[in-house]
Chains A and B, each alone.
Chain A
Amino acid sequence: MEDLFKSELKVINMGLEGFAETLKERGTKVLHVRWQPPAQGNEDLLSLLDKLK
């Protein structure tokens, strides 16, 4: 773990873009992945989507 922070950080950020922005501002290499939970995690919509597979 200690070695991790001694080498150059290359980060993959998923979800909230703010974390990626903060790291970028500090000069860290970041690849942001736009991801959100399916149907925004709405159980009703997920059950409808399940019916339509």
Chain B
Amino acid sequence: MSRIDQANQEAVKRMMLSRPVWVDVGKAIDVIPGMKKNLFLHAGPPITWDRMSGPLKGAIIGGLIYEGLAKDTEEAEKLAASGDIEFAPCHHHNAVGPMAGVTTPSQMVFIIEDKEWGGFTYSNMNEGYGKVLRYGAYDDEVINRLKWLDGVYAPVIKEAVHLAKGVDIKSIIAQALHMGDDGHNRNRATTSLFIRTIAPFVVETGWGKKTDYDAPRLDLSNVSEYFKENKATAAAEVLAFMHSNDLTSLNAIMAACKSMALAAHGIENSTIVTTMARNGTDFGIRVSSTGDKWFTAPANVPDGLYFSGFTASDANRDIGDSVITETVGIGGFAMAAAPAIVNFIGGSPADAFDATNEMFEITVAENNNFNIPAMDFKGTPTGIDVRKVVEKNIVPRINTGIAHKDPGVGQVGAGIVKPPFEMFIDALKELAR
């Protein structure tokens, strides 16, 4: 075995041994290394305000309003362009965020600890569907939901996870792949398991009987007649919100995947991809043995199905850190585990098997944690080798949501996207240097 092949085996071994456990929730500025008052984190590789896409700009504008640093769009845009606000990739701070990925200093974040290798990774709270900050929307509804998430939801689940003494996210992902999830676009099983695990502790928190608190309330009147007549407790609001949002678990899963990817980073001679991320303008990758260097190229527009009233002409270029799931062998790589979502891309269950099988062509291992029952429990394809991508001319397959290209609108669909091939060629050139 060559020294590169040995290094790659070491990288995927470390990736698969990583044991990410959700241990806490904290305020970004207090817990994320290097976070400061005027720093806004975003998805993807580094980017300046003038090159940001519509949805990323929208999320930055919303973040500035949420932080109380701007009172309206005009003031926020002026401040964002002034140079007084710094922007940095979530990945530079061991964090990840879906879609725009904007994480502001006051936002509450999941804290994931790698119990095998040590260290922490982070992700913000998932806001649910529709008009949300991560898709670039920022009206009052969006800002109020953020206030509820940080003022009620986060404190409740923080107390709950302390009572639970941590939640093993890797185990949840492994089980969910046996229940029809891919771990990226379909999260119904991961979220169900997440709720099952944390619900008893949510009820046991000090918020279990609390019906009055100083933050915007979550309206449950459309959930049941019961809540039209009775004031919900904070715990009931939290559990109802989790149930209404299949993406509840996604951000914690992403932070767990970041933990696994970090474990494989920095192995001398390794050609394994340890970061894939998009900011809505550029796609970027990083490789285990090439340090913090990004290899970037213009991001593609996803191919997918659109919500009623929207078409491909509304779509922004690919955006988000959620492709960290594919980086560690789930998401599009585990498509064969999730036949229920193949209609997202107008395909058949056979296409899902083809997608997973194709990813074995560009990876170096079968995952020993995540497997697919319908493929005789074969492990998912794991550890993308830059050399194989270039040699086979096959790029990683990515499942994704689709954001509107304009700020303030939100999600318009979901589908699949191909990363640009040029990044892998640039990485190969650097590796051969």
A: which residues have CB within 8 A of B? 36, 38-40, 45, 48-49, 51-53
Q: Is B239 an interface residue (CB 8 A)?
A: no
Which residues of the partner chain A approach B390 to less than 8 Å between Cβ atoms? 39, 45, 48-49
B: which residues have CB within 8 A of A? 2, 4, 271, 387, 390-393, 425, 428-429, 431-432
The 15 listed contacts between A and B (C-beta, < 8 Å) are: A36-B392, A38-B391, A38-B392, A39-B390, A39-B391, A45-B390, A48-B390, A48-B428, A49-B390, A51-B432, A52-B4, A52-B428, A52-B431, A52-B432, A53-B2
Nearest A residue to B421 via CB reads A40
Structural contact, A48 and B429, CB atoms closer than 8 A: yes
A36 vs B428: C-alpha distance when bound (angstroms): 19
A-side binding surface: helix, strand, loop or mixed?
A: helix
What is the minimal beta-carbon distance from A28 to any residue of chain B, in angstroms? 21
Structural contact, B428 and A45, CB atoms closer than 8 A: yes
What is the minimal beta-carbon distance from A43 to any residue of chain B, in angstroms? 13
Which residues of the partner chain B approach A39 to less than 8 Å between Cβ atoms? 390-391, 393
Which residues of the partner chain A approach B428 to less than 8 Å between Cβ atoms? 45, 48-49, 52
Which residues of the partner chain B approach A49 to less than 8 Å between Cβ atoms? 387, 390-391, 428
Which residues of the partner chain B approach A45 to less than 8 Å between Cβ atoms? 390, 425, 428
Told that A39-B391, A48-B428 touch, could you supply 15 new A-B pairs with CB distance under 8 A?
A: A36-B393, A38-B391, A38-B392, A39-B393, A40-B393, A45-B390, A48-B390, A48-B432, A49-B387, A49-B391, A49-B428, A52-B271, A52-B432, A53-B2, A53-B4
Contact of B387 among A36, A40, A52 (CB under 8 A): A52
B-side binding surface: helix, strand, loop or mixed?
A: helix
What is the minimal beta-carbon distance from A37 to any residue of chain B, in angstroms? 9
Nearest B residue to A51 via CB reads B432
A51 vs B430: C-alpha distance when bound (angstroms): 12
Nearest A residue to B431 via CB reads A52
Nearest B residue to A45 via CB reads B390
A36 vs B392: C-alpha distance when bound (angstroms): 7
A40 vs B393: C-alpha distance when bound (angstroms): 7
What is the minimal beta-carbon distance from B378 to any residue of chain A, in angstroms? 20
What is the minimal beta-carbon distance from A15 to any residue of chain B, in angstroms? 13
A45 vs B425: C-alpha distance when bound (angstroms): 8
Which residues of the partner chain B approach A38 to less than 8 Å between Cβ atoms? 391-392
Nearest B residue to A48 via CB reads B432
What is the minimal beta-carbon distance from A26 to any residue of chain B, in angstroms? 23
The 8 closest A-B pairs by CB, nearest first: A48-B432, A51-B432, A38-B391, A48-B428, A40-B393, A52-B387, A39-B391, A52-B432
Nearest A residue to B391 via CB reads A38
Which residues of the partner chain A approach B271 to less than 8 Å between Cβ atoms? 52
Nearest A residue to B358 via CB reads A34
A48 vs B271: C-alpha distance when bound (angstroms): 13
Nearest B residue to A47 via CB reads B432
A53 vs B391: C-alpha distance when bound (angstroms): 12
A25 vs B21: C-alpha distance when bound (angstroms): 54
Which residues of the partner chain A approach B393 to less than 8 Å between Cβ atoms? 36, 39-40
Which residues of the partner chain B approach A48 to less than 8 Å between Cβ atoms? 390, 428-429, 432
What is the minimal beta-carbon distance from B350 to any residue of chain A, in angstroms? 14
A34 vs B302: C-alpha distance when bound (angstroms): 24
A40 vs B428: C-alpha distance when bound (angstroms): 15
Which residues of the partner chain A approach B425 to less than 8 Å between Cβ atoms? 45
Nearest B residue to A38 via CB reads B391
What is the minimal beta-carbon distance from B413 to any residue of chain A, in angstroms? 28
Which residues of the partner chain B approach A53 to less than 8 Å between Cβ atoms? 2, 4
Which of A36, A39, A40, A52 has most B Cβ within 10 Å? A52
Nearest A residue to B4 via CB reads A52
